Structure 1
């Protein structure tokens, strides 16, 4: 009886435990299913739900269209989904009566066209993350009719001096070993951007222009790809067929100046360029497609042309929209690929006061994206803000420009047969034109960016520094005055981070003398409201809503960037060995890189060379004949006794049936006399000149020019734009010096020109007794000094680092997903633990039962 009683009790207990376990597991499973299904069932779409649409998923422009209550109006809308677009999604759009016009996989979206009533329904679909109206964009330039000047006496090549690009080219490079870096021609190596490609995302580029080296004989040296968007990207020589804006911008970025004998080269004169034309009526979606192309072709490890910059002189005014496709693409380019994204600040002027802070914001919505670099337009000499350059709202720092660059009367490459070209023909040059705008300032910074990232490729997102933002209280207005988007999570979210290049440009910009310095012509701006003690950004440098941090300084920015690169790559193998160093570390020592050095040379000869395109053009019905301006200057040092010049021109060209005859003119004293007249001898395609130099012609500039005649019978067949006679040429000048006594060589650049001198092989009369008699006194980038100043960086030990710190970062970046995963993990762990416990209880009962059976036996 006792055994039977015990067995019955045991069986009842086991059944109770088993049933309780089933109920609890069922209950836990039900909770888990509810959690997992919550996100998928939060916004079901069916008739009658929110008939006006979900306005929280729309941008302002789209809301305004929907508010017009024109339900049958068909509009283009850019959509973004919560995850990549699937075939099922495409069928769903068809069910909504929407036509898909384009894909944008970078942002999990695309372009659709649908009636307003259907857009309302689509906005209620749970797959939709954001919708924005696709509309035409503005290009920020001022042609003569809108405030430009038809009489441009000031040239683009002067502004390369203003931003100190020429100073950068001219600095001799001292390697970490202390040796001077020479090129293959034994001349001084220079940093000019060669090896990095810059994307000119604009109206396109007329790549047939001589300054872009898209055609023979220098195909691929400059523009490596030119394409126009018409639903797809199609490569074409001329991708700028109606505006001309992009061609001008491209010349400032990286034009080589061939149509002016090198005089009007762009900021990154050695860099390569990609020209993307968004079409005749550029829209947001076309621009997004350009950024998407840039992203695809700049992925680290899949970027053979080292595409690291995209310059954008377009946009529309408004506050930062973190959900928009341009902002999303900008962030991805910056954070994923380390690409610097440059935007024009806009041409809407203003004062930065009440109007701009109460809804009439004048700065470009895309320039206001934190990860983008916003550029204000300064006067030609860089000393003041232009009248048209957009001011940000003084009570919201994220609307302020980041930096400034010259944007008034910028002379750069001109296309043919375009709207802007037609308005500038009276300026007297058929290959260059002068226009103004933040569009013209922006490519200066685009060129700088390419030049800098070429010598400092490790630059990327600055995780340790964020864009300035006024939350609640503004820097200028004080307590409670902060305007526009108030982002409580500004200091923790990804979107507020910036590119290290931006931080470098801001730290090295020149602000002194620019506070309350405004060009005349803006009646809205009294320009008296910045105090003597300037407003300072998180960089510690002066910053305002007109000029940003001031005039960009290429020379200093290159030094700071290169210092950081050397800290990270201390063995110089191109790989980052010490990622712990940041811009602030380099900031402490970078100025030591910029020094002056006396360089002793074992030669008695110096050299200067250049290339160009001589062009002969019959100017239409007027019968006037136009020739390109091929003037070039070479400094003749004291002690020079001999000048040798070799001039090589491609005068005959079969495809275009071209024939010509050119010669080189040399004016040693700049007195108008051709000292090479009758002196040249010809061999094949080259002319050779050998001139004696007297003391009266030294210590000054010599003027060179190209003259001649040419005829082309079939030029229009090969190139319908630049169909005139075009003869590419090269010039190589070698000067021999008398070293019977020491010669010190130094000179100042002409303000409207750039020309250098480099050492070359010695003459046949040179002997070892002359070693060191010729010296160059040059500014240098001294990398050896920086190597000696680099100290190991001791990182702070943080108890929060490790597993739990990493876990916290995951929760910060993927909050909802990590929460679901964490709950799911706990439930599974709890369920597994419970089953183990039940099994253990079963085993204990069996053991006790066996023991009782043994006792009874």
Structure 2
């Protein structure tokens, strides 16, 4: 008996040992000394293959659930140094030897590992970008993308009344009230165009911070590159250092500047996107952030497991933020696929908006703009914008600034790249979401997929099938803003239109019958859907907003309307009208910063270019100008003395000479205007001297004398005969006129005598086009009805299923037959039935 018990105990112990061994065996047998490459991005795989075992690698890690203190301990016990946390993606940043990285990749908690690569910012050095042509300026590209057309439109309310500001000026849609994140190298916010300091602090730059392990707010978050300062100016700079001439696309919008720091890496960018996500959550969006512009990345294919792709999706799908990426500067010809893909890996994320760089005039793709793989539509840019010779805000004391000082402007510089195209679209997005805050993610799929026949490769060449659930999965949905940009882009004439300089691209392989994307519009691997059009995109966005919010109270009452519904009628919003105003005076006002830079090294004195232009309409007989400079600044011990030069008719004379009267801080110029000046431009400029004795202590970059000023020009008209004002647009400038208060000479007989003929956004006319949308509810189907649809769609599978069902039926029948022969049938009848039978 004892022997039997002993044998039992021995068997039990042996079984336990076997179970322990069995449970441990998978860990030992599955431990690949090379690591689990399925959990790594391509860059990390390559680093492990080429690095010594003891080489230290910086890795962005993700776990398969929220990171705990036990996870931190495990990582540290396995040789990892933890350097940062990324809670939104259940991960962080670590450094470990190549050997330990391999071990970590095998850990059951590990979801994905990425090499923390240094980011590439997509601008061209001056030796590659070429010298800017004389007269090529930022304001020309705002004309090219039709931003100035959109700014110029007056607005008719839904009830038919005109929209006026509190000062009686025509209301314009310029983006004011919507913030755009410039996630880049930061901005040098001491630049006058950013309004971070001085009398207008907070009007433009809401927040400027640099990543150094934590986000630290600072005036200058762009200390080494200068790239982000230039990008931010294109997005939403106000143009103050050029008297408004070089304003960005969303000239009235607000900016949040996030600097990824010196030697920016994927993790720093990830932290910027996390910050953007946390500060754009609906209901917790302090700055009203709706857009993030990203002019950085690296070439490669869409990686759905990467932290940037995941955060792009989260921002888009959860917060409704439009995420915009540069397509990259790697050129190519469209034949580079697989490992040689030229487009930005992050721009290839379906939910992101990918931007190609076009020439300065928007008529062709630049030589450097990355081409997508012609057989993989998901790698193609979505839209294009000017990216060649783009003038925008210049930083001080940075690498880019050092290479552009010879261009002749200390406050603006001209550089090229998809980095310069992308912020044009960032500014557009700000304008669109400002007038259409209901824009969010489409609940329909319109992102191109690699299926069917390629435009060039022929039958079946695009049917890679790497995303089998493309038509149903969440990740292939796009922001409605992207769809609007694609539907309104200009493609005609863009096919096979290429800038010289790319020897790899013959630029002759797109047939006349273009490939049409899911939008029904032409789409190719060079320019996407073509040149973006701000005026049309704003009109389509606003149309959709009015369809959803028909009483214009800010609440969406009709979410059933889609971009497609709005696309059918949006042209009705853009009209030209004759607008009657009961006044005899019109006005134009602007602000700026006059700067006096004394270069002690060579003794040269530099002044900002403050020229500004005002149109003089027929009937004008008086011009009253109020010029108010802030000449004294106690903090910088600044003093100055400025005056205004005014040239009526641009004949080279200073008509304000000896005419000014000083009243407190304001110069007043009261000038007579005769008929020879009608239909011409008056040119204004600022002259004077100033000195800031303590400027260097206040700002090491923009330390020179800087005098903010405002200018208000009022023109009085003789309305004895009717006057109609139609303002032409200069190619080198944007200017406008607005009605203002009546003069002392007003007579009631003047009513109806003054009109403005100008383009408008006519919301009243549009409202008459909106029809109730009849929602057709899907009929409830039975199981067999649904099954019938499946059979109809998948014939081959249906035949196989039918044969299988027949065999099953035969088997069941055979079994029942045998059952009847071999087993007596027993009927079970309840008591109630028995009672009935007995009765």
TM-score (norm 2): 0.89
- Report 1:282-431 matches (<5 A): 282-353=264-335, 356-431=336-411
Name the structure 2 match of 1:834: none
- 1:484 is displaced (CA, Å) by 7.0
Cα gap change, 1:719 to 1:592, in 2 (>3 Å) = same
Name the structure 1 match of 2:158: 176
- Report 1:38-117 matches (<5 A): 45-46=27-28, 49-68=31-50, 70-117=52-99
Q: Tell me the alpha carbon deviations over residues 113-145 of structure 1, each in whole angstroms, 9 at most, x when there is no partner.
A: 111111111111111111111010110001212
Q: Is 2:720 aligned against 1:720? A: no
Q: Is 2:598 aligned against 1:618? A: yes
Given that residues 251 and 265 in structure 1 are in contact (C-alpha distance below 8 angstroms), is that contact kept between their aligned partners in structure 2?
yes
Name the structure 1 match of 2:171: 189
Name the structure 2 match of 1:799: 779
- 1:485 is displaced (CA, Å) by 7.4
Name the structure 2 match of 1:504: 484
- 1:51 is displaced (CA, Å) by 2.3
Pick the aligned partner of 2:542 from 538, 562, 565.
562
Name the structure 2 match of 1:460: 440
- 1:393 is displaced (CA, Å) by 0.5
Q: What is the distance in 2 between the residues matched to 1:637 and 1:302? A: 48
Name the structure 1 match of 2:752: 772
> Where do 5+ consecutive residues of structure 1 fail to align?
1-40, 806-846, 849-857
Name the structure 2 match of 1:745: 725
Q: What is the distance in 2 between the residues matched to 1:42 and 1:69? A: 30
Q: What is the distance in 2 between the residues matched to 1:268 and 1:683? A: 35
Q: What is the distance in 2 between the residues matched to 1:460 and 1:180? A: 29
Name the structure 2 match of 1:672: 652
Cα gap change, 1:141 to 1:91, in 2 (>3 Å) = same
Q: Tell me the alpha carbon deviations over residues 709-757 of structure 1, each in whole angstroms, 9 at most, x when there is no partner.
A: 1111100111111110000000000000000000010021100100000
Cα gap change, 1:121 to 1:738, in 2 (>3 Å) = same
Q: What is the distance in 2 between the residues matched to 1:242 and 1:483? A: 45
Q: What is the distance in 2 between the residues matched to 1:152 and 1:791? A: 51
Given that residues 453 and 459 in structure 1 are in contact (C-alpha distance below 8 angstroms), is that contact kept between their aligned partners in structure 2?
yes
- Report 1:634-673 matches (<5 A): 634-673=614-653
- 1:480 is displaced (CA, Å) by 3.0
Pick the aligned partner of 1:552 from 526, 532, 535.
532
Given that residues 450 and 465 in structure 2 are in contact (C-alpha distance below 8 angstroms), is that contact kept between their aligned partners in structure 1?
no
Q: What is the distance in 1 between the residues matched to 2:51 and 2:122? A: 32
Q: What is the distance in 1 between the residues matched to 2:780 and 2:177? A: 42
Pick the aligned partner of 2:564 from 581, 584, 600.
584
Given that residues 175 and 430 in structure 2 are in contact (C-alpha distance below 8 angstroms), is that contact kept between their aligned partners in structure 1?
yes
> Where do 5+ consecutive residues of structure 2 fail to align?
1-22, 786-829, 832-839
Cα gap change, 1:401 to 1:118, in 2 (>3 Å) = same
Name the structure 2 match of 1:487: 467
Name the structure 1 match of 2:224: 242
Name the structure 2 match of 1:213: 195
Alignment length, in residue pairs?
Answer: 765
Q: What is the distance in 1 between the residues matched to 2:654 and 2:593? A: 21
- 1:494 is displaced (CA, Å) by 1.0
Given that residues 79 and 110 in structure 1 are in contact (C-alpha distance below 8 angstroms), is that contact kept between their aligned partners in structure 2?
yes
Q: Is 2:242 aligned against 1:265? A: no
Pick the aligned partner of 2:672 from 662, 682, 692.
692
Q: What is the distance in 2 between the residues matched to 1:410 and 1:153? A: 11
Given that residues 45 and 126 in structure 1 are in contact (C-alpha distance below 8 angstroms), is that contact kept between their aligned partners in structure 2?
no
Name the structure 2 match of 1:729: 709
Q: What is the distance in 2 between the residues matched to 1:483 and 1:147? A: 37
- 1:150 is displaced (CA, Å) by 5.9
Q: Is 2:584 aligned against 1:604? A: yes
Name the structure 2 match of 1:223: 205
Q: Is 2:136 aligned against 1:154? A: yes
- 1:759 is displaced (CA, Å) by 0.2
Q: What is the distance in 2 between the residues matched to 1:484 and 1:730? A: 60
Name the structure 1 match of 2:145: 163
Cα gap change, 1:696 to 1:535, in 2 (>3 Å) = same
Cα gap change, 1:126 to 1:495, in 2 (>3 Å) = same
Q: What is the distance in 1 between the residues matched to 2:385 and 2:783? A: 46
Q: What is the distance in 2 between the residues matched to 1:803 and 1:230? A: 59
Cα gap change, 1:624 to 1:574, in 2 (>3 Å) = same
- Report 1:826-837 matches (<5 A): none
Cα gap change, 1:469 to 1:268, in 2 (>3 Å) = same
Given that residues 445 and 471 in structure 2 are in contact (C-alpha distance below 8 angstroms), is that contact kept between their aligned partners in structure 1?
no
Q: What is the distance in 1 between the residues matched to 2:338 and 2:574? A: 45
Q: What is the distance in 2 between the residues matched to 1:165 and 1:420? A: 27
Given that residues 472 and 486 in structure 1 are in contact (C-alpha distance below 8 angstroms), is that contact kept between their aligned partners in structure 2?
no
Name the structure 1 match of 2:735: 755
Q: What is the distance in 2 between the residues matched to 1:680 and 1:649? A: 14
Name the structure 2 match of 1:132: 114
Three-state SS of the structure 1 residue aligned to 2:650 is: coil
Three-state SS of the structure 1 residue aligned to 2:207 is: strand
Three-state SS of the structure 1 residue aligned to 2:370 is: coil
Given that residues 471 and 488 in structure 1 are in contact (C-alpha distance below 8 angstroms), is that contact kept between their aligned partners in structure 2?
no
Q: What is the distance in 2 between the residues matched to 1:804 and 1:197? A: 52
Cα gap change, 1:646 to 1:803, in 2 (>3 Å) = farther
- 1:666 is displaced (CA, Å) by 0.5
Given that residues 606 and 760 in structure 1 are in contact (C-alpha distance below 8 angstroms), is that contact kept between their aligned partners in structure 2?
yes
- Report 1:444-459 matches (<5 A): 444-459=424-439
Cα gap change, 1:146 to 1:763, in 2 (>3 Å) = same
- 1:473 is displaced (CA, Å) by 4.0
- 1:65 is displaced (CA, Å) by 1.4
Stretch moving more, 486-495 or 452-461? 486-495
Q: What is the distance in 1 between the residues matched to 2:152 and 2:66? A: 49
Stretch moving more, 395-404 or 472-481? 472-481
- 1:68 is displaced (CA, Å) by 2.5
Q: Tell me the alpha carbon deviations over residues 184-239 of structure 1, each in whole angstroms, 9 at most, x when there is no partner.
A: 11000000000000000001100000000000111111001000001110000000
Name the structure 2 match of 1:121: 103
Q: Tell me the alpha carbon deviations over residues 475-503 of structure 1, each in whole angstroms, 9 at most, x when there is no partner.
A: 43233322877211111111111100000
